[in-house]
Structure 1
Amino acid sequence: MAVDVRWATTGDAAALTVMLCEMAVHYRQPPLDSARAMAAARKWLGEESTAYPHFALAFVDGEVAGLASVAIAHPGIDLERLMFLKDLFVREDVRNAGVGRALIGFLAGHCQRDGIGRIDFTTEDWNEGALRFYAGLGAERHGQKIFLRLSGEALEAAARP
């Protein structure tokens, strides 16, 4: 199966919408309203920097098959930037067919070309498929950091002077 991976552009809003809606279900969230997801996809893709786009999309036979959502952070180790992989998602009907590997390969190649020293990411502790996939790539588990989140009332309180 040939997998084509590229950075998403404004013309990919519909493909990104499909992935966002499927991700919500996979990650045990309420289903997304597709019109709302499309509006968000158009907004996000319209704001993308050409130097550092946030979404890579994988296509199989012209159909969207996978998504990687990333951010570039400064500084990393030895003043190299780092890529944070927020989400890697592959549609259920093409899992274990090389789509995830193609997305990671695309991101890793981008890092090597642009002097980005590493890719950091997280996954849910219940997502055994993702844990196996990342272990198969040679990813190391790091226990040095604890994942924390500010949201809801805590986020509102932190924003107050």
Structure 2
Amino acid sequence: MVVDVRWATTEDAAALAVMLCEMAVQYRQPPLAADRAIAGARKWLADESLAYPHFALAFVDGEVAGLASVAIVHPGIDLERLMFLKDLFVREDVRNAGVGRALIGFLAGHCQREGIGRIDFTTEDWNEGALRFYAGLGAERHGQKVFLRLSGKALETAAKP
């Protein structure tokens, strides 16, 4: 199977929307309305710059098969930028066929070309398939960080002066 991976452009909004809808179901979220997903995809892709792309899409035989959502973060204590992999998602019908590996390879190559020192990511503790996949890549599990979130009421409260 040949996997084509590229940074998503505005022309890929429909493909990105398909992935976002499938990803919501996988991550046990309420289903996304297709029109909402495509509107969000169009907006996000229109806002991207070539210097800091956010979505990589994988295609197999012209059909979208996988998604990586990333952010490039500026220097930390080591003065190297890092890539934060927010989501890596592969359609169920092509899992274990090299799509996830192709996406990671694409991102790692981008990091090497652009002087980005590492890729950081998280996964749910119940997602055994993802944990096996990342372990197979040689990813190190770090217990040094605690994942925290501000959302809803807490975000509203934090925004107040």
In structure 1, the gaps of 5 or more residues are none
Superposed CA offset, 1:119-160 (max 9, x none): 000000000000000000000000000000000000000000
- Aligned-partner Cα distance in 2 for 1:160–1:82: 30
Distance 2:119 2:50 in 1: 20
Asked if the contact 1:85–1:121 (Cα under 8 Å) also holds between the matched residues in 2, the reply is: yes
Query: 1:73: Cα distance to partner?
Result: 0.5
Distance 2:88 2:69 in 1: 7
**1:51-78 residue CA offsets vs partner (Å, 9 max, x unmatched):** 1110000000000000000000011453
Equivalence for 2:82: 82
Partner SS state of residue 79, structure 1: coil
> 1 CA distance for matches of 2:128 and 2:24?
18
- Cα gap change, 1:143 to 1:54, in 2 (>3 Å): same
Hey, what's the Cα distance between the residues in 1 that align with 2:91 and 2:156?
35
Q: Which runs of 4+ in 1 moved over 6 A?
A: none
Query: How far does the alpha carbon of each residue in 1:83-104 deviate from its partner, in whole angstroms, 9 at most, with x for none?
Result: 0000000000000000000000
- After superposition, where does 1:2-151 map in structure 2 within 5 Å? 2-151=2-151
Distance 1:78 1:25 in 2: 37
- Counting aligned pairs with the same residue, the percent is 89
CA-CA distance at 1:50 after TM superposition: 1.0
Aligned length: 161
- Read off the aligned partner of 1:96 and give its amino acid letter: N
Distance 1:35 1:132 in 2: 34
TM-score when normalising by structure 2 = 0.99
